[in-house]
Copies of this chain bind each other. A is one copy, B any other.
Amino acid sequence: MKTVLSGRGAPAEIDREGPAVMIGERINPTGHKKMAQALKDRSFDYIRELALAQVEAGAAILDVNVGIPGADEPALLPEVLRLVSSWVEVPLCIDSNNPLALAAGLAAVEGKPLVNSVNGEEERLSSILPIVRDRGAAVIGLTMDDRGIPEDAETRLAIAERILERAAKLGIPAEDVLIDPLVLTVGANQQAGRVTLQTIERLRRELGVNINVGASNVSFGLPERTIINQAFLALCIGAGANCAITDPAKLASTVLACNLLQGHDAYGRRYIRHIRRLQETQRP
């Protein structure tokens, strides 16, 4: 099972039998005042910095979300996507709750982008899957629906199956649907991590799909969040996730270490190159 995405440059592959890849999550104003202000002021230099830094840190794909209150997303999203495409060659992940913005975004980029996201809600399935299909894009499918995020792996799996079925009916192949099992904070519910890990194992074993995880929600409200996020990401990759939407500055070392440890990095070449780059950057 291979999800192949492309931007202006070389394609990015998310391969069930290959190394885990990172989607850089930083171009997103949610809970991020400086980014929200930059979007409001149309001062795109900051976004450029984040785009370049994330690719340099190892992101194979960049997520782009411009959802600030009052923004004209169907106009702003394609504008920012075009800018990001002019700065970096990697495939983009077009991130919005607004189907019109997604459609406009899909029209604005080259290659084969990823759409973030659809879920099990009927309204999302019927509004978003057709535009993904028409554009020949790939899509992230979140295992939640109108009733929220299920507390058990069984129901999350059923939602994943529903998303895959609906996609297949429209002619979107399973390799173009990345399932995201979602995770809640373990600070509020001690079973939250376990349920997500179980969902990943079952998605991998029973559905054979490629799996994306967001590795930062899990630690919400807890101290030293990076330690938890690193451990969680390793556990997710071990369970079968092969894509992570994350901050590469914080988690690239963990992802590259996992790839090395799972036999996807001959002689540790990629890991060693990454560490050398970090050491050079940190040198005074």
Chain A residues proximal to chain B, CB less than 8 Å: 186-187, 190-191, 193-194, 197, 218, 222-224, 227-228, 230-232, 234-235, 237-239, 253-254, 257-258, 260-268, 271-272, 275-276, 278-279
Contact = CB atoms under 8 A, between A and B. Distances in A.
A230 B230 contact: yes
A261 B238 contact: no
- Quick one: which of A224, A232, A260 has the most chain B CB within 10 A? A260
A272 B231 contact: no
A201 to B, nearest CB: 10
A283 to B, nearest CB: 14
Given A222-B272, A223-B276, A228-B261, 12 more contacts: A186-B261, A187-B268, A190-B264, A190-B266, A190-B267, A193-B260, A194-B261, A227-B254, A230-B254, A232-B257, A232-B261, A235-B258
Contacts of A254: 227, 230-231
Contacts of A234: 230-231, 234-235, 238
A263 B153 CA distance: 14
Contacts of A231: 230, 234, 254, 257-258, 261
Contacts of A222: 268, 271-272
Nearest to A278: B224
Contacts of A266: 190
A261 B187 contact: no
Contacts of A253: 224, 227
A271 to B, nearest CB: 7
A197 B23 CA distance: 26
A254 B232 CA distance: 10
Given A235-B261, A261-B197, A267 B224 contact: no
Contacts of A186: 260-261, 268
Contacts of A187: 267-268
B263 A193 contact: yes
Nearest to A191: B263
Nearest to A260: B186
A261 B218 contact: yes
B238 A197 contact: yes
Nearest to A265: B190
Contacts of A258: 231, 235
A266 to B, nearest CB: 5
